[in-house]
Amino acid sequence: MPTLDRHFWLVIVASLALGIAGVGLAVAGNPENSGICISCFLENSAGALGLHDNARMQYLRPEIIGFVLGAVLSAGLFREFNSRGGSAPLVRLLAGIFLMIGCGVFIGCPIKLFLRLTAGDLTSLAGLAGLVAGVWIGLRGLAAGIHFGRAEKQRGSGWWIPCLGVALLLFYLFRPGFLLFSTSGSAAQHAPMLLSLGAGLLLGMLAQRSRFCITGSIRDSFLMRGRTPLLWGLLVFVVVAVGFNLFSGQFRLGMYGQPGAHLQHFWSFAGMALVGWLSVLIGGCPFRQLIKAGEGDADAGLVVIGMVIGGGLVQAWGLTATAAGVPFYGKVATLVGFLFLLTNSLLWRDRTS
């Protein structure tokens, strides 16, 4: 059992909020099983910024802005804002792109994986297995000495993602002419603005305080078993999401005909394995990267920039899976992602210890 301290309860509250918001935002208008999906939202936002031309995937998702600004507010309030960076910047930028490829091939980020699972989508089990496997491999890598170098205090770097968050908020509110908004498709489905933004801000603050992270929960469960609060947090998230899905009539147990899902289980596994492995090496899942970027971590900020670029690329190049399955180049990109991981694992391994 973990120690029932303040941190434990913070994790529980954050997980509770994530479960409620994850299902609630879908009930309120976001696409099915996508109340919160970092990769889908980033693809939508990249489209809104004109980085891809899929007319059905263009919407500047206020939740994403909320996560970053919520983390900034919380880090500022509790004096945890710490501008830092300098750890393998280009590797992290590219890692952000490959995170989006892995998510695109699975159709969703690790949060959405659990939202899909808690809505009865059994195809996500392959993704879950992949995520766990990826985290485990990543942990083995860390234990073997893979390390991207220490981040240093950098007075300037950490402010730019929060600034970008403010700029995007202004874009969202004032809607300059260059922004694109879908009128049909999943990007045209969204919860009311204030609800999305408010939920984003609240979750951003809670996640910053609690350090909640999906891959971190799995990683810590490997390391600390039941003693890690994150495992309990993950369980609370799952239980709340299942309950809410059942209550709201969104629970449909089955393998077939699930929203935003495909039946190519090997590629679901591979996509999430890529995400899990990358997340462990760069210190957090896509959601956690947004939160860390909000508390001044410029390295996480570069991952976020990479994810935005990746969000544009996966749509523009047609790498994302659809209900029909994973496209050829999506499979190729996934394997290139593993090549990237393996190469970096060899190059960045500290063999002296």
Partner 1 sequence: MPDRFDMLHLVGLLVVAGGLLLLVLTPQPEAGAMHGGRLDRAMEKQMLARARTDFLKQTYAPVVDLTASGEYAAALLKLKELGREYPGEPHGDILRGEILLAQQAWQPATASFVRGVKGNGDYVDAKSPLSRYESISRVVDEGLRQVGAQVKQHPDNSSLQETMRDLYYLQSRLAGGCE
d(CA 301, CA 281): 15
Phi, psi of 146 (to 5 degrees): -75, 125
Q: Is 122 exposed, middle or buried (0-12, 13-18, 19+ CB in 10 A)?
A: middle
SS3 content of the chain, % helix, strand, coil (to 5): 65, 5, 30
The residue among 208 and 250 lying less far from partner 1, judged by its C-beta, is: 250
The residue among 92 and 262 lying less far from partner 1, judged by its C-beta, is: 262
Q: Which of helix, strand or coil describes residue 325?
A: strand
Min dist CB 278 to partner 1, Å, is 20
The residue among 82 and 322 lying less far from partner 1, judged by its C-beta, is: 322
The residue among 155 and 351 lying less far from partner 1, judged by its C-beta, is: 155
Beta-carbon neighbour count of residue 247 at 10 Å?
11
Min dist CB 140 to partner 1, Å, is 32
Min dist CB 115 to partner 1, Å, is 10
Min dist CB 287 to partner 1, Å, is 16
Is 131:110 a contact under the CB 8 Å cutoff? yes
Min dist CB 256 to partner 1, Å, is 4
Q: Report residue 328 as tokens.
A: 């050829």
Min dist CB 273 to partner 1, Å, is 20
Contact residues for partner 1, defined by CB under 8 A:
31-34, 37, 40, 43, 54, 56-57, 107-108, 175-177, 179, 181, 183-186, 189, 252, 256-263, 320, 322-324
Classify 109 in phi/psi space as left (phi over 0), alpha (psi -120 to 50) or beta. beta
Is 273:101 a contact under the CB 8 Å cutoff? no
d(CA 253, CA 290): 31
Min dist CB 348 to partner 1, Å, is 33
The residue among 15 and 30 lying less far from partner 1, judged by its C-beta, is: 30
CA distances from 4 to 180, 210, 213, 217 (A): 47, 13, 19, 17
d(CA 285, CA 291): 10
Q: Which of helix, strand or coil describes residue 59?
A: coil
The residue among 40 and 241 lying less far from partner 1, judged by its C-beta, is: 40
Phi, psi of 282 (to 5 degrees): -100, 5
The residue among 51 and 300 lying less far from partner 1, judged by its C-beta, is: 51
The residue among 81 and 106 lying less far from partner 1, judged by its C-beta, is: 106
d(CA 109, CA 145): 27
Min dist CB 190 to partner 1, Å, is 12
Q: Which of helix, strand or coil describes residue 353?
A: coil
